[in-house]
Chains A and B, each alone.
Chain A
């Protein structure tokens, strides 16, 4: 079954440390996205990618980097984690139309 799989499911990171969130999709979708969800707010777009080896900035890219080494894989990197980056992070993939598939999320706590 086509899916979007995120790892880890949850993580505790130390302020100033490096964090890498991984996403793998089997939908054969060209487009992949990273969003963050904060309590009481809608999801916000961090980075996205149209094709392997290329990434684009979303609405809130500061403090985050992204990497798309293949069509199936899309990573979100926090080089220097900060307290404000505590959130739930969702990866998604889509086709050219309206078909979006979301992962189950990664709960990140920065202490």
Chain B
């Protein structure tokens, strides 16, 4: 059973628009949640990590929130650029140390058009 669900599956926006990606999960315990960006044919690059209840993070045009009660996270991308075209993957870690497991969502494919 998939423990990390991402929505939408795919999204097309025009350059300059904002967008919001969703991540719902059922992983327990939920030690931390990380958003990755994966360019086509490339590896995963970490955008941000959220650890605490109601955490909010900001990394340039990327900002994220975490609601551990609702087991829900959002990734906001403001003023999108063509280079934002990629797959965004939500990952939940069930423990703080590497002894825990990472649970991966299938990703949201974002396409930014001119």
A43 contacts partner chain B, Cβ-Cβ < 8 Å: yes
Interface residues of A in 18-45 (CB under 8 A from B): 30-31, 35, 40-45
Of A62-70, A72-80, A99-107, the one with at least 4 CB within 8 A of chain B: A99-107
Q: Any chain B CB within 8 A of the CB of A96?
A: yes
Smallest CB–CB gap between A47 and chain B, Å?
A: 13
Q: A103–B38 Cα gap in the complex (Å)?
A: 11
- Rounded to whole angstroms, the CA-CA distance of A44 and B93 in the bound complex is 13
Interface size range of chain A in the complex:
20 to 34
Q: How far is the CA of A98 from the CA of B99 in the complex (A)?
A: 11
Q: A50-97: which residues lie under 8 A (CB-CB) from chain B? A: 50, 59, 90, 94-97
Q: A97 — which chain B residues lie within 8 A by C-beta? A: 96-98
The docked-state distance in angstroms from the alpha carbon of A59 to that of B3 is 14
In the complex, what residue of chain B is closest to A50 when comparing beta carbons? Answer: B98
Binds A, one of B11-19, B43-51, B65-73, B76-84: B43-51
Please report which residues of chain B, range 63-114, place their CB below 8 angstroms from some CB of chain A when the two chains form the complex: 89, 93, 96-99, 101-107
B4 interfacial contact with A, CB 8 Å? yes
Interface check B60, CB cutoff 8 A: no
Contacts of B104 in A (CB 8 A): 35, 42-44
A94 in complex: contacting residue of B89, B98, B103, B105, CB < 8 Å: B98
- Rounded to whole angstroms, the CA-CA distance of A95 and B41 in the bound complex is 25
Asked if B98 and A104 make an inter-chain contact with CB atoms under 8 angstroms apart, the answer reads: no
A4's nearest neighbour on chain B, judged by CB, is B43
Interface residues of A (CB under 8 A from B): 4, 30-31, 35, 40-45, 50, 59, 90, 94-98, 100, 102-105, 107
5 A-B pairs closest in CB distance:
A42-B104, A31-B98, A104-B43, A102-B44, A43-B104
